[in-house]
């Protein structure tokens, strides 16, 4: 039956129909939420809902009984019957097999909307998203590679889901670390003439400071050689900070990540933001004095102890920087999301306390990116910042490339430790997940080129999404079902702050396409069944659109050409 002569429901409308059936059956005041997902086993159907489980207590009936009643009631609607080929209650779930025309309708939506497919309605929420922030005392390292990948992917997905997202990086250029940086640079500078000049025990041991010292000598010669450290430490630290931040910005840009704002903590101090944030806490009764110091009542929000914000000698603590920065962010955003490293667990309660104190409970979210272990095959790569054994993000990019690094860094949930196998990331095989996905995209592009060489008009017809009725085979419908999940995947990633779902989804698309390519060929039927070839090529176009979009969200390129042997695009 042609999709133009049947009035099919959309997935949202189908959910409403089943919710309405539940409401009417059990006298509910409102429609219960009905969510569809893929059933546990493909043979159960196309989609399933567990709505019956949520109603069992109120209805005082077994979920299996409720599921059967809801399915029967919903199918009394002619439009539901037109959309649903079979509804099978199984162990409390309602499994639905939808008519092929439903999936043709979904496929047509992808081809019609193109790059806008999956875009959500505008949300009335502005989000400040901070991620990747590293101390300006050295180069970006592996953990920043993970937070940059996760943060940028989340930002892009939130925007696609309809949110107004503002990305930020905080430059931690105040406090003891800047003094340590100044002393470390001073020692490296003096060592250019005096190799035995002592290096501070708590200094930053990385060789990158030698290059900064040489840069200072090239500019200033011996200007600082005979100046006491205390008199030039601040100047040298500022110079080193600026060099390091420029290099961090350059590496982030090379990694495909840019920020709307690079915020200096020192500038917050200079602008009086520290005093403003602390004064507001006092106005709200969230701070108190004890032993000459000023404390914030963070225990009210689950912290194990209240925190000092201003020491007895009048110097602000590091927590004062958080007070100023988050007070500033809460003035500019409805919600603040911070992606921090694994050693920041103690920050969660104190940041929650700030949100509570400012009358914005729940407005600050903290996501912790867990540890990373690097290896090459079976060899574990030792990393120790204290010992100076650091692996920089730039080294990772040089070795495996941006695409592999971005994909691997975001593959696992942020709250799981990640083992990154550099050897696997360079393999040109199906064992390498990023290669497998990119090869899927390149394979589609190759198919389109070959069809275009034989019959350019067929390509135009496929792009126009004309007749899709021939698409009834198992691999064809399975691939369409997968592509139709994209809007829900985008919404789910945004809602759960779970960008790791995107690489998995990309691999699922690639697997379904490879199965389709093998079982539902296009080129062999161009001459014998033009209509079937056109419909299958239209499905290939839709797959290319969605797969490219998922890769773009992950910051990974979608190559048009790849050699399975060399892996080059």
Residue 363 lies in a domain: no
In the block, residue with structure tokens 């650091």:
390
Residues 445 and 500 in one domain: yes
Residues 486 and 458 in one domain: yes
Residues 535 and 437 in one domain: yes
- Sign of the torsion angle spanned by Cα atoms 376, 382, 388, 392: positive
pLDDT at 1 over 90: no
Residues 437 and 478 in one domain: yes
Q: Residue 388 — pLDDT band, cuts 50, 70, 90?
A: low
Residues 79-117: pLDDT tens digits? 999 999 999 999 999 999 999 999 999 999 999 999 999
The residues near 363 (Cβ < 8 Å, ≥ 6 apart) are: 330, 334, 335, 336, 355
Strands 261-264 and 164-171: parallel
Please give, one letter per residue, the 3-state secondary structure of 490-535.
HHHHHHHCCCCHHHHHHHHHHHHHHHHHHHCCCHHHCCCCHHHHHH
Residues 13 and 113 in one domain: no
Residues 54 and 111 in one domain: no
Residues 88 and 112 in one domain: no
Residue 205 lies in a domain: yes
DSSP state of 391: -
User: Can you give the pLDDT at residue 6?
Assistant: 53
Residue 230 lies in a domain: yes
Residue 538 lies in a domain: yes
CATH number reported for the structural domain that contains residue 438 in this entry: 1.10.730.10
In the block, residue with structure tokens 């205390």:
230
Query: What distance in Å separates the CA atoms of residue 59 and residue 26, rounded to the nearest whole number?
Result: 7
pLDDT at 247 over 90: yes
Q: Residue 567 — pLDDT band, cuts 50, 70, 90?
A: very low
Section 444-470 average pLDDT: 94
Helix pair 51-59, 11-26: axis angle to 10 deg: 10
pLDDT at 158 over 60: yes
Spatial contact of 372 and 144, defined as CB atoms under 8 Å apart: no
Spatial contact of 263 and 322, defined as CB atoms under 8 Å apart: no
Geometric angle at alpha carbon 234, from 233 and 239, rounded to 5°: 100
Task: Give the end of a domain, one of 98, 127, 150.
Answer: 98
CATH number reported for the structural domain that contains residue 67 in this entry: 3.30.1360.70
Q: Tell me the range of 207-211, 257-261, 350-354 where mean pLDDT is highest.
A: 257-261
| Backbone angles phi and psi of 421, in degrees to 5 | -95, 105
Residues 110 and 69 in one domain: no
Residues 113 and 84 in one domain: no
| Backbone angles phi and psi of 93, in degrees to 5 | -90, 155
Task: Give the end of a domain, one of 54, 70, 98.
Answer: 98
Q: Report DSSP letters for 158-172, one per residue.
A: HHHTT-EEEEEEEE-
pLDDT at 385 over 60: no
User: Can you give the pLDDT at residue 562?
Assistant: 86
Task: Give the end of a domain, one of 247, 274, 305.
Answer: 247
Geometric angle at alpha carbon 202, from 388 and 295, rounded to 5°: 120
Distance of CA 415 to the CA centre of its chain: 13
Element (H, E) at 376: strand 372-376
CA dihedral angle for residue 461, residue 467, residue 469, residue 471, rounded to 10 degrees: 20
Half-sphere exposure of 505 (CA within 13 A, CB side): 28
- Sign of the torsion angle spanned by Cα atoms 414, 415, 416, 418: positive
For all residues of the chain together, what is the average pLDDT? 93
Residues 501-536: pLDDT tens digits? 999 999 999 999 999 999 999 999 999 999 999 999
Section 187-194 average pLDDT: 97
User: Can you give the pLDDT at residue 256?
Assistant: 98
The residues near 445 (Cβ < 8 Å, ≥ 6 apart) are: 544, 559, 560, 561
Helix (H, G, I), strand (E, B), or coil: what is residue 100?
A: helix
Residue 162 backbone zone (phi > 0: left; psi -120 to 50: alpha; other: beta): left
Least Cα distance to 211 among 392, 75, 40, 367 occurs for 392
The verdict on pTM exceeding 0.75 is yes
Number of neighbours of residue 95 by Cβ within 10 angstroms: 22
User: Can you give the pLDDT at residue 531?
Assistant: 95
Token pair, residue 326, equals 């988050």
Residues of the chain with pLDDT > 70, as a percent, come to: 97
Query: What distance in Å separates the CA atoms of residue 364 and residue 358, rounded to the nearest whole number?
Result: 11
Residues 302-352: pLDDT tens digits? 999 999 999 999 989 989 999 999 999 999 999 999 999 888 888 899 999
Residue 287 lies in a domain: no
Residues 43-71: pLDDT tens digits? 899 999 999 999 999 899 999 999 999 99
- Sign of the torsion angle spanned by Cα atoms 423, 425, 428, 433: positive
Residues 536 and 436 in one domain: yes
Residues 93 and 183 in one domain: no
pLDDT at 213 over 70: yes
User: Can you give the pLDDT at residue 10?
Assistant: 87
Residue 63 lies in a domain: yes
List beta partners, residue 98. Answer: 84
Total of domains in the chain: 3
Domain that holds residue 220: 176-247
Residue 182 lies in a domain: yes
Residues 112 and 205 in one domain: no
Residue 289 lies in a domain: no
pLDDT at 2 over 60: no
């Amino acid at each position: 039956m042609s999709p133009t002569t049947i009035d099919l429901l959309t997935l949202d409308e189908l959910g409403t129909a089943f919710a309405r059936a539940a409401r009417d059956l059990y006298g509910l005041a409102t429609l219960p939420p009905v969510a569809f997902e893929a059933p546990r086993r493909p043979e159960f159907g196309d989609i399933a809902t567990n709505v019956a489980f949520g109603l069992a207590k109120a209805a005082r009936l077994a979920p299996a009984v409720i599921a059967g009643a809801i399915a029967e009631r919903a199918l009394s609607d002619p439009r539901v019957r037109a959309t649903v080929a079979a509804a099978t209650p199984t162990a409390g779930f309602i499994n639905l097999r939808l008519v092929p025309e439903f999936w043709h309708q979904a496929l047509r939506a992808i081809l019609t909307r193109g790059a806008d497919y999956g875009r959500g309605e505008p949300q009335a929420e502005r989000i400040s998203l901070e991620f990747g922030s590293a101390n300006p005392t050295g180069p970006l390292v592996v953990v920043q590679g993970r937070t940059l990948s996760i943060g940028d992917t989340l930002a892009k997905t939130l925007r696609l889901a309809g949110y107004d997202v503002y990305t930020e990086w905080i430059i931690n250029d105040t406090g003891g670390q800047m003094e340590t940086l100044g002393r470390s640079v001073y020692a490296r500078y003096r060592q250019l003439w005096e190799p035995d000049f002592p290096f501070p025990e708590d200094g930053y041991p990385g060789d990158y400071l030698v290059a900064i010292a040489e840069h200072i000598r090239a500019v200033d010669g011996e200007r600082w050689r005979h100046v006491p450290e205390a008199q030039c430490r601040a100047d040298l630290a500022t110079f080193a900070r600026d060099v390091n931040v420029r290099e961090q910005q350059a590496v982030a840009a090379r990694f495909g990540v840019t920020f709307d704002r690079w915020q200096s903590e020192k500038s917050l101090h200079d602008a009086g933001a520290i005093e403003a944030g602390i004064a507001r806490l006092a106005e709200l009764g969230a701070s108190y004095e004890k032993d000459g110091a000023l404390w914030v009542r963070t225990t009210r929000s689950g912290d194990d102890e209240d925190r000092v914000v201003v020491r007895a000698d009048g110097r602000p603590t590091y927590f004062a920087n958080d007070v100023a920065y988050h007070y500033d962010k809460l003035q500019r955003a409805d919600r603040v999301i911070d992606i921090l490293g694994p050693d920041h667990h103690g920050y969660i309660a104190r940041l929650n306390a700030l949100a509570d104190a400012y009358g914005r409970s729940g407005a600050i979210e903290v996501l912790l990116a867990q540890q990373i272990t690097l290896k090459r095959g079976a060899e574990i790569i030792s990393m120790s910042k204290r010992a100076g054994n650091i692996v920089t993000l730039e080294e990772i990019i040089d070795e495996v490339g941006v695409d592999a690094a971005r994909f691997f860094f975001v593959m696992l949930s942020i709250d799981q430790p990640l083992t990154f196998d550099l050897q696997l990331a360079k393999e040109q095989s199906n064992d390498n997940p990023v290669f497998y996905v990119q090869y899927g995209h390149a394979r589609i592009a190759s198919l389109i080129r070959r069809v275009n060489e034989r019959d350019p008009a067929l390509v135009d017809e496929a792009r126009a999404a004309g007749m899709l009725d021939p698409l009834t085979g198992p691999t064809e419908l399975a691939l369409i079902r997968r592509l139709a999940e994209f809007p829900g995947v985008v919404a789910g990633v945004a809602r759960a702050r779970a960008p790791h779902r995107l690489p998995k989804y990309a691999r699922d698309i690639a697997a379904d396409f490879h199965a389709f390519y093998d079982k539902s060929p296009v080129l062999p039927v161009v001459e014998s069944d033009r209509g079937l070839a056109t419909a299958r090529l239209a499905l290939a176009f839709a797959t290319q659109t969605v797969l490219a979009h998922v890769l773009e969200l992950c910051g990974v390129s979608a190559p048009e050409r790849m050699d399975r042997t060399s892996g080059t695009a």
